[in-house]
Amino acid sequence: MAPLNKKLIIALLRQHNGPLHFAGLMRSLGGRHIKRELKHLLDDMAGSGELVRLKGNSYAVSGTQQTVSGRISVHRDGYGFVTPAGGGEDIFIPSRAMGSALHGDLVEVTSGPSRMGGGKRDGRVVQVAERATTRIVGRYEENRRGAVVIPDDPRLGIIVSIPPAGRARAEDGHQVVVELTSYPAGGRPATGQIVEVLGWPDDPDVEVQSVIRRFGLPHEFSQECLAQAEAVPEAIASGDLQGRVDLRGMQTVTIDGETARDFDDAVSLRREGDTYRLWVSIADVSHYVKPGSPLDRDAYLRGTSVYFPDRCIPMLPERLSNGICSLNPAVERLTMTAEMLFDLSGNMLDSRFYHSVIRSSARLTYTTVKQVIVDNDSDVSDQHRPLVPMLTEMKELALILMAMRKKRGSIDFDLPEPEIIIGLTGQTEGIIRAERNLAHQLIEEFMLAANEAVARFVSSSSTPFLYRIHENPDPAKLQSFQEFIYGFGYEFRLVDERVDPAEIQRLLAQAEGRPEERMLNYALLRCMKQARYAAENLGHFGLASGCYCHFTSPIRRYPDLVVHRILTALISGGKRGDVLLSSATANLAETAEHTSRRERIAMEAERDVVEMKKLQYMQKHVGDEFNGCIAGVTGFGFFVELDELFVEGLVHISTLADDVYAYDEKRHCLTGHRLAKIYRIGDTARVRVAAVNPGTRRIEFVLVSHTPASASANPPASVPPGEEYRRVPIRGKKPAGSRRGSGAGPVNKPASPGKSGRNKPGGRKRY
């Protein structure tokens, strides 16, 4: 018998013309004495992609089995989902079938009907085609066996072994960056070498630097970019004013948060009989950032500014973002203006767009504007007396536009959002509810109107354009959601597997003020696709708009800068306009894909820092009790969201010692076998913080008391009596470990009005 080698194994499998079980290979290649050697060799070949490991410990030559290619998304509990590259239903991958795949890898999988039924498919990773992770951020630990790095990202699910030569100057407990030199295969761990020592993990700066490295956020500008920014004059030259509409004599204000430093939009309003004339003036960033320039290259690479609770990674150098491009009060600034005329019903009668120059009359905050238009605070009104009449008229128009949007079916997920309070030392000192009042909504409405007006104008000219789109929800998710909410007494219409946005808005209105309101909002968000940029107009479901774009934030979003360039080309006209248009519309599809990806990465990084700050805060409260609401139920317990802190933790089923509980998937509840006690979404609960585990990103609660939300089992009074809705059968079970009854996965908020979080750390504009 020839020595055991890869060629011999491949030849045997090809001769057999199909997969062979491990036992069959062992018999054919020499018997039990080669078992260990054969296993190592097969593991290596499967890891390198030469062989495919199939269900039941069988093997086949790569390419002989029908597979599906796609990116794998791994849950921290070990299972994953593969999104097929060619589209179609996600394929569920049990933890035992993950092979050597890591989160984000491009993989080849075999799949078949799921045992759960419902049209779902289960699969097995047979080959890793492309690695997504080459560097890992984590905690360096030393022990008697050697040194390892435990990744910060629990989805990776590996431990990296560090040989003595690759440990650099790391000390036990340091946060480090590791470059992988080998991936896990055949029971052997991944190995790597430390390329950067960040410092001690309890240092707030190290915490943020870890996130920056983990998500690959560009955080240093190139020298060419900084040099170009330094060369920009601090004052406007007289030649810059040529061809611009002079709005310096008009009352114009910026309205932002207290901590904002980059003001990219200013507004002005005038009542003209039975109409309102609104001016939305946006910083003319395209005047300073030309296509292909060092400033442009760095801005494109970043795609968006990234906001953390204590800092911002800007898209543009601060000399521009907080300086010449920021619409600071009492100084001249170059702008692009959308001038719109509305009737008393909120219909846009006319619009025009032009380059302009403004001088902001005042830098107002949301708090100040609220005190004037909502609280009628006489002292604050006296301080801003010249602006009060205009602010009052702005309130009138904003309310009209809000009513019109609601009527057409625009969806507003009015969910509370956390605001992290950071102390002087950088530590988390508190978590409060971020305020959203009429002043925020006023600016949102005006920006939404400007974005829509620009999109309609450009679209009407059949010019290539960069749209902001939000596609209709996935029909399968909608049907699952429909069945889920039926147990709480809610229904909605599906017509040809599609839902009208107005139906969603009606549903949200029915749930308002009820115990299950927040849960229903979150579950509905999980049905929604993520808003993105595209070179083709597919409409915006969340805003119930047939044509929409992002125009109002070119300081912090690259797509807005592209829109400004296209708009400039159109209003310039002639030969110059043709040249500008050719440059502005080059590679729009690629730009859309890139900026959508950068936006998703930025949002994940922001969310990660917020969750990290929450854990840091809750470590101080181990043993304390809080009131909350059951936000999700699974087979291993239920999740409680604390009322005011926006922190979620798990009450594990093992801590419920009074009975034996079983998970009822239909009703999304845990039911006691002996006492028939029920724990259900929407119930109120008082819990004690038992433990906080930063490594697994989990908070463990112990139940102190529980109050059923019995009313939630009855249909809301606002459901029209006798109304008939299409009902669907229950779909397949969710995989064990799904965090909520409505399905696992991150919340992807569409860019609907929602929270603005404008220009403050931890927040993002939603318009």
Q: 526 near 739, Cβ under 8 Å?
A: no
Which pLDDT does position 734 carry in this prediction? 35
**Confidence grade of residue 710 (pLDDT, cut at 50, 70, 90):** low
pLDDT higher than threshold 90 for residue 28: no
Distance between CA atoms of residues 270 and 144, nearest Å: 75
pLDDT higher than threshold 90 for residue 487: no
Q: Token pair for residue 429?
A: 């000192």
Q: 92 near 121, Cβ under 8 Å?
A: yes
The number of beta carbons lying within 10 Å of the beta carbon of residue 469 is: 24
Which pLDDT does position 88 carry in this prediction? 75
**Confidence grade of residue 721 (pLDDT, cut at 50, 70, 90):** very low
One domain for residues 194 and 156: yes
- pTM higher than 0.95 for the full model? no
**Confidence grade of residue 206 (pLDDT, cut at 50, 70, 90):** very high
Identify whether 347 is part of a domain. no
One domain for residues 635 and 692: yes
Domain housing 14: 6-61
One domain for residues 54 and 72: no
Q: How far is CA 503 from CA 152, 508, 509, 527, 600, in A?
A: 41, 9, 10, 14, 28
Distance between CA atoms of residues 468 and 647, nearest Å: 31
Average pLDDT of the residues in 171-199: 92
User: In whole numbers, what is the pLDDT of the chain averaged over residues?
Assistant: 86
What is the SS3 assignment for 106?
Answer: strand
Which pLDDT does position 417 carry in this prediction? 81
One domain for residues 72 and 48: no
Which pLDDT does position 414 carry in this prediction? 67
Distance between CA atoms of residues 560 and 564, nearest Å: 6
One domain for residues 121 and 146: no
pLDDT higher than threshold 80 for residue 704: yes
Distance between CA atoms of residues 657 and 19, nearest Å: 49
**Confidence grade of residue 269 (pLDDT, cut at 50, 70, 90):** very high
Distance between CA atoms of residues 41 and 760, nearest Å: 55
Q: 478 near 497, Cβ under 8 Å?
A: yes
One domain for residues 125 and 143: no
CATH number at residue 148: 2.40.50.700
One domain for residues 150 and 194: yes
Closest CA to 389 of 377, 379, 381: 381
Number of separate domains in the chain: 4
Span 553-589, pLDDT tens digits = 999 999 999 999 999 999 998 888 899 999 999 999 9
Which pLDDT does position 725 carry in this prediction? 34
- Choose one of 684, 713, 742: the last residue of a domain: 713
Amino acid in the structure at residue 414: D
Closest CA to 58 of 46, 67, 70, 69: 46
CATH number at residue 90: 2.40.50.140
Distance between CA atoms of residues 635 and 661, nearest Å: 9
Name every residue whose Cβ is closer than 8 Å to that of residue 652 and which is 6 or more positions away in sequence. 636, 637, 700
**Confidence grade of residue 123 (pLDDT, cut at 50, 70, 90):** confident
Q: Token pair for residue 391?
A: 């602010």
What is the SS3 assignment for 528?
Answer: coil
Per-residue b or e along 276-301, where b marks 16 or more CB atoms closer than 10 Å to that residue's CB: bbbbbbbbbbbbbbeeeebbbebbbe
One domain for residues 33 and 57: yes
One domain for residues 139 and 122: no
pLDDT higher than threshold 90 for residue 255: yes
Which residue's entry shows tokens 């990674």?
313
pLDDT higher than threshold 70 for residue 381: yes
**Confidence grade of residue 720 (pLDDT, cut at 50, 70, 90):** very low
What is the SS3 assignment for 342?
Answer: strand
Q: Which helix (H) or strand (E) holds 626?
A: strand 625-634
Amino acid in the structure at residue 545: S
Span 145-165, pLDDT tens digits = 899 999 999 889 899 999 999
Span 680-692, pLDDT tens digits = 888 899 999 999 9
**Confidence grade of residue 723 (pLDDT, cut at 50, 70, 90):** very low
Amino acid in the structure at residue 101: A
Span 615-630, pLDDT tens digits = 989 999 999 999 998 9
**Confidence grade of residue 743 (pLDDT, cut at 50, 70, 90):** very low
Q: 338 near 354, Cβ under 8 Å?
A: no
Average pLDDT of the residues in 723-741: 34
Identify whether 642 is part of a domain. yes
Which pLDDT does position 63 carry in this prediction? 66
CA atoms within 13 A on the CB side of 25: 29
Span 503-547, pLDDT tens digits = 888 888 888 888 778 778 878 888 888 999 999 999 999 999 999
| 4-18, 281-295, 316-330, 637-651: least confidently modelled range | 4-18
Span 404-448, pLDDT tens digits = 999 998 988 767 788 888 888 888 888 888 888 999 999 999 999
One domain for residues 74 and 57: no
Which residue's entry shows tokens 């006489």?
378
Per-residue b or e along 734-754, where b marks 16 or more CB atoms closer than 10 Å to that residue's CB: bbeebbbbbbbeeeebbbbbb
Which pLDDT does position 736 carry in this prediction? 36
Distance between CA atoms of residues 603 and 569, nearest Å: 31
Which pLDDT does position 744 carry in this prediction? 32
Identify whether 100 is part of a domain. yes
Phi then psi dihedrals of residue 692, to 5 deg: -130, 125
One domain for residues 94 and 168: no
Identify whether 94 is part of a domain. yes
Task: List 138's β-bridge partners, or say none.
Answer: 151, 176
Distance between CA atoms of residues 702 and 22, nearest Å: 47
**Confidence grade of residue 733 (pLDDT, cut at 50, 70, 90):** very low
Which pLDDT does position 65 carry in this prediction? 63
Distance between CA atoms of residues 763 and 760, nearest Å: 6
Distance between CA atoms of residues 368 and 374, nearest Å: 10
pLDDT higher than threshold 50 for residue 648: yes
The number of beta carbons lying within 10 Å of the beta carbon of residue 705 is: 10
Q: What percent of the chain has pLDDT over 70?
A: 90
Degrees, nearest 5: CA angle 240-455-332: 25
Span 308-355, pLDDT tens digits = 998 999 999 999 999 999 999 999 999 999 999 999 999 999 999 999
Identify whether 10 is part of a domain. yes
Identify whether 510 is part of a domain. no
One domain for residues 629 and 706: yes
Dmax over Cα atoms in the chain, in whole Å?
Answer: 99
- Choose one of 669, 690, 713: the last residue of a domain: 713
The number of beta carbons lying within 10 Å of the beta carbon of residue 676 is: 8
Average pLDDT of the residues in 216-244: 95
CATH number at residue 56: 1.10.10
Q: Which residue has the higher pLDDT, 416 or 267?
A: 267
Average pLDDT of the residues in 667-675: 87
Q: Token pair for residue 428?
A: 């988390």
pLDDT higher than threshold 70 for residue 460: yes
pLDDT higher than threshold 50 for residue 253: yes
Label each residue of 555-613 as H, E or C. CCEHHHHHHHHHHHHHHHCHHHHHHHHHHHCCCHHHHHHHHHHHHHHHHHHHHHHHHHH
Degrees, nearest 5: CA angle 735-739-745: 80
Identify whether 219 is part of a domain. no
Distance between CA atoms of residues 252 and 329, nearest Å: 9
Identify whether 592 is part of a domain. no
Q: What is the DSSP string of 678-727?
A: EEETT-EEEEEEEEEETTTTEEEEEEEEEE--GGGGSPPTTSPTT-----
The beta-strand segments (E) located in 205-309 are 245-246, 253-256, 265-272, 275-283, 306-308
Closest CA to 515 of 306, 708, 273: 708
- Choose one of 19, 34, 61: the last residue of a domain: 61
